Amino acid sequence: MSDQPNVQQAVPFFGVTAMPESLAFYVDGLGFTLTQHWSPEGSIRWCWLQLEGAAVMLQEYVANQHGPGRPAGTLGLGVSICFICRDALALYHAFRERGVAASRPFVGNAMWVTNVTDPDGYQLCFESPTDSPEETVYQECSPAERSTP
C-alpha cells in the first residue's frame, strides 16, 4: 500500500462558449498559466490552466458527433468555486489592475472574500482567513498606502 492519498485534487471543469474570450479572462485577467491543451484543427478546444496550487479545465462547446454543443440555460447556475488563498485582498488588487471586475472584498465566515464572474457566468470566489469582524467591507486605499507596512 502506498502512503500517498488516492484522491489528490479536485479540478473544476467548465464548458465554455468562446475559448479565446475565456483564455483572455483566465490567463490575462486572473493570471492563470496555460499548462496543457488539446487543439484539433489548430484551435484550443480543451485546456488545463494553473494558478499556483489551483487549477481549472476549460472545454469549448462544439456541436458534433460527440455531443449537441452548448446546453440550454444559464451555465454554472448556482455553482460557486472557492479558491482558498493566503491573501485575497492582494488578488483583488491584481485582478482590478488587469481590468477584471472583482467585487469589493467583504468578510464572511472569517474570510476576506472577493468574487469574479467569468465570461460564461461561472462564479469564482477568492478567499483568505482573517480576524476582521464579520461583514466588514474592504475600504479602498491608494497603491502607495497598500505598500506601506
pLDDT tens digit at each of 149 positions of the chain? 678 999 999 999 999 999 999 999 999 999 999 999 999 889 999 999 999 999 999 999 987 766 678 888 888 888 899 999 999 999 999 999 999 999 999 999 999 999 999 999 999 999 999 999 999 999 986 666 555 44
CB 109 within 8 A of CB 65: no
Q: In sequence order, which residues have a C-beta less than 8 Å from that of residue 50 and are 6 or more positions away?
A: 32, 33, 35
The structure's pTM equals 0.88
* Residue 94 domain-assigned (yes or no): yes
Domain CATH number, residue 54 = 3.10.180.10
Contact (Cβ atoms closer than 8 angstroms) between residue 126 and residue 92: yes
- Are 45 and 19 in contact, with CB atoms under 8 Å apart? yes
Residue 2 within any structural domain of the chain: no
CA within 13 Å, CB half, 46: 4
Domains in the chain, number: 1
